[in-house]
Amino acid sequence: MGMGGSNKKKPGGTGVSPVHSFKITVRNLPHWQMPGSVYFITWRCKDYQVLSPEERTTTLEAIKYWEGRKWTVYAAVVMPDHVHLLSKPLALHGGGFVDLAEIIHSIKSYTGHEISKKRGTTGSIWQDERFDRIVRDEAEFLEKWQYLRDNPVKNELAENPEDYPWLYENVIEER
């Protein structure tokens, strides 16, 4: 895809900022982080921009890039003007968990740069803020997963969720 290639800049910074305890950050919206939690996350395109199929592929591949490195992605869908995902930042060897904001920033920065370069434009692709919610139990997890799956069908982009190329589902068996 290019993100792992030697001649391309990999997404992300040089270090990792661990989250060791409950953390709240506020921009326009509050962002709560609880170590070990699963999150339902949404971010949108800025100024009513629409992602082309190629741009949706770039975005989905960027989300999957950190799978097993910085987070577990249970499910993700890249729509023409927004992204939904269910994910869980991974524990760090030295303690704490990967900072969710760091992962999202990496993905939005990388994809924004790549999309703008291919479009021959400048400026931000994504809105600055994201919506995130700590998933509180299995019932909510399943409800959010179903919502994510149904989004392309509800928006008349596919007849069945499985027909939508920018839907990613990662079935993880608990042992």
CA distances, 130 to each of 27, 101, 105, 133 (Å): 10, 9, 10, 10
CA distances, 27 to each of 31, 40, 129, 130 (Å): 8, 18, 8, 10
| DSSP one-letter string for 25-94 | EESSSEEEE-TT--EEEEEEBGGG----HHHHHHHHHHHHHTBTTTEEEEEEEE-SSEEEEEEEEPBPTT
Model confidence pLDDT, tens digit, residues 42-97: 999 999 999 999 999 999 999 999 999 999 999 999 999 999 999 999 999 888 89
Q: What is the CATH number of domain 25-169?
A: 3.30.70.1290
Pairwise CA distance, residues 113 & 126, whole Å? 11
Domain residue spans of the chain: 25-169
Model confidence pLDDT, tens digit, residues 115-146: 999 999 998 999 998 999 999 999 999 999 99
pTM: 0.81
